[in-house]
Structure 1
Amino acid sequence: MGIKVSAPTPVVSVKPVVLPAPGREEDLQVRVSAPASGSELPIIVFSHGFGLSMGSYDPLVDFWASHGFAVIQPTHLDSKTLNLPPDDPRTPLIWRIRVEDMKRILDRLDLIEASVPGLSGRLDRGRIAVAGHSWGGQTASMLLGARVLDPEGEPGEDMSDSRIKAGVLLATPGKGGADLSPFAAEYFPFMHPSFAKMSTPTLVVAGDHDQSPLSTRGPDWFTDPYFLSPGSKSLLTLFGAEHSLGGIHEYNAKETTDENPERVAALRALAWAYLRTALYPEDHAWPAACEELMSTSNPLGRVECK
């Protein structure tokens, strides 16, 4: 399957770009990957899954940057590269600090531009998307309007950001309560999201073989951000995909249980097409990509929209 995308261009990738973060007790390190040429570059701020870092997700980041996006990746405090001890007082707050990391990036785009040779003045501040995988998906969802429910079931603080115009949620956990496994309920009290106010246009991506130990439900748990949110949404269900969706977090990663380069290629192209249309409504890349996905006799997945 060959989804039509723009011609690839050379990419410049710089890390670490260090953003001062008073109160975080650890300055925020980010990686910036962007086309070596071109102006008015749309932006993707990408939140990694548990334990990973700004150095992860090259199969996605390399593609998106070579096809016109500036991709900015923070290293959150849960990253194994930082070795934060479990009893660190920040640990229970990491879910919030993750969202603050993403907002800090948006607040410091001037510094980020100045820190990357040749990037100054080339970012389009009016076309910003967020994306994230797994826990990073929950982080991104809060910038799109999702909230964490308190113990009484009431929505917590609204941490959405109006600068975000679209989102891509990859294998993002669904609702909590009785849908959580006993382990998740005990150790992850923040895993009680409400998507009722998540109105920003979003592509939700789920694998139909993604059986999580964090939930008592099956793979449909990861479709909750689509079915339980209002507004313009699209759901891409990938056939045969488990939690790594074919291997999105690293090239040839040993821990990938469902390695499938063709699936990864389709996913990153479809996400690119979705964001092109979401950020540039005159661009018909997304409907064209959906048509191409379903035009084969053995499609890799299906798309539904609302």
Structure 2
Amino acid sequence: MSPVVLDVPGRPVDLQVKVSAPTEGVGLPILLLSHGQGYSNHLSSLNGYAPLANHWAEQGFVVLQPTHLSSRSLNLPATTPGAPMFWRERAEDMSHVIDRLDEIEKVVPQLQNRWDRTKIAVVGHSMGGHTASLLLGMKTEGVSLRDDRIKAGVLLGATGRGDAVTDVVKENYSFMQTVDFSEMTAPALVVAGDADASEHLTTMGPDWHADPYHLAPGPKDLLTLFGAEHGFGGVSGYDVAETTDESPERVAVVQQLTTAYLRGQLLGTTDWQDVATEQGRIESK
């Protein structure tokens, strides 16, 4: 169902959410999916990340995808408070979605008595990883936006330490210099590509994206994918031209391992590390 429209007081535009869910089953856990940025107009919105959202819904999750204010599809004026990345508002979007599950259920009555509102996780890619980190306990500019209703998270190519960002980031996205992972205590799977240099963001190379694992307290898991760049084979959309490491096989690994991890955290039914892969290595603490 898309879009489910939520009127949030004070927000420049309504909060639009896409809901993907299996047609059968009860006790369904909930995944909040935070999009990244990029040059495409609609991948950074509720219309992106179909390879992940569709797979997770097929595997028994209710996937909720908001369009954040930073989306190119909205094209908000540069003078809008919080522009251009709206880092605070992005995290607040997710808490608003949890607050308004009753309204979402009215629009999508097929979910009535079928989802488990006590089992919520957040997943984010790139800038969405920053958003997910905030909800899991990371601080930015000394601000905590942690939402304890969120039990676990998956961070795909997320942002790292603030003293290893480029001059472009310092000039345009200074909030990324002030990240503090020391209180990000919620369980999380950090997914990083060993070829994801992200030279426009960091001077540290691929290791920067593993910072949420190394700098945050446990319990944390790190999945390092061999040869993966920032698109992880194409997770942001089917046949996306800006994917620099096109690989359906790599996308399948991300699908399978994240599903197993999220099932383990929310349902306690799967030891996700038993899912074998030759495309990466796993560390835990």
TM-score (norm 2): 0.95
| Matched residue, 2:90 | 98
Residue 85 of structure 1: CA displacement? 2.2
Aligned mate of 2:172, from 179, 187, 195: 187
Amino acid at match of 1:20: D
Distance 2:218 2:281 in 1: 20
Q: Show the counterpart of 2:159.
A: 173
Matched, 1:243 2:230: yes
Supply the AA of the counterpart residue of 2:235: I
Are 1:161 and 2:147 an aligned pair?
yes
CA distance in 2, matches of 1:89, 1:233: 34
Q: Determine which of 16, 22, 28 is the counterpart of 1:35.
A: 22
- Secondary structure of residue in 2 paired with 1:15: coil
Q: Return the offset for 1:118.
A: 1.1
Unmatched 5+ residue regions in structure 2?
A: 39-43
Name the aligned partner's letter for residue 48 of structure 2: S
**SS in structure 1 of the partner of residue 203 of structure 2:** coil
User: More displaced, 84-93 or 180-189?
Assistant: 84-93
- CA gap 1:78/1:197 in 2 versus in 1, 3 angstroms: same
Q: Pick from 20, 38, 62 the counterpart of residue 70 of structure 1.
A: 62
Alignment of 1:269 onto 2:269: no
- 3-state secondary structure, aligned to 1:35: coil
Q: Is the contact between residue 261 and residue 270 of structure 2 (CA under 8 Å) also seen in structure 1?
A: no
State which of 33, 36, 39 in structure 2 corresponds to 1:49: 36
Q: Distance in 1 between matches of 2:190 and 2:247?
A: 19
% identity of equivalent residues? 53
Deviation at 1:171, TM superposition (A): 0.1
**What secondary structure sits across from 1:30 in the alignment?**
strand
Partner of 2:245: 258
AA aligned opposite 1:181: T
Q: Alignment partner of 1:42: what SS?
A: strand
Cα distance in 1 between the residues matched to 2:284 and 2:243: 29
Instruction: Please say if residues 147 and 194 of structure 1, whose CA atoms lie closer than 8 Å, have aligned partners that are also in contact.
Output: yes
Whether 2:4 is the aligned partner of 1:17: answer yes
The 10-residue stretch of structure 1 (199-208 or 42-51) with the greater mean CA deviation from structure 2? 42-51
Is 1:286 the equivalent of 2:278? Answer: no
Alignment partner, residue 133 of structure 2: 141
Secondary structure of 1:118's counterpart equals helix
Give the corresponding residue for 2:108: 116
Contact 2:70 2:84 (8 Å CA) reproduced = no
One-letter code of the match for 2:247? N
Shift of 1:40: 1.0
Q: Which residue, out of 233, 237, 245, partners 2:220?
A: 233
Work out which of the two has the higher radius of gyration on C-alpha atoms and give 1 or 2. 1
Separation (CA, whole Å) in 2 of partners of 1:195 and 1:142: 9
Give the superposed CA RMSD: 1.1
- Between 1:45-54 and 1:90-99, the stretch displaced more is 90-99
SS at match of 1:194: coil
Alignment check: 8 A CA contact 2:70 2:85 kept: no
The 4+ residue runs of structure 1 with deviation greater than 6 A are none
Residue equivalent to 1:300: 279
Question: Please, which of 199, 202, 206 is the counterpart of residue 192 of structure 2?
Answer: 206
Residue 92 to residue 263, structure 1, CA distance change in 2 (3 Å)? closer
Q: Larger deviation: 189-198 or 28-37?
A: 189-198
Q: Which runs of 5+ in 1 are unaligned?
A: 1-13, 151-155, 294-298
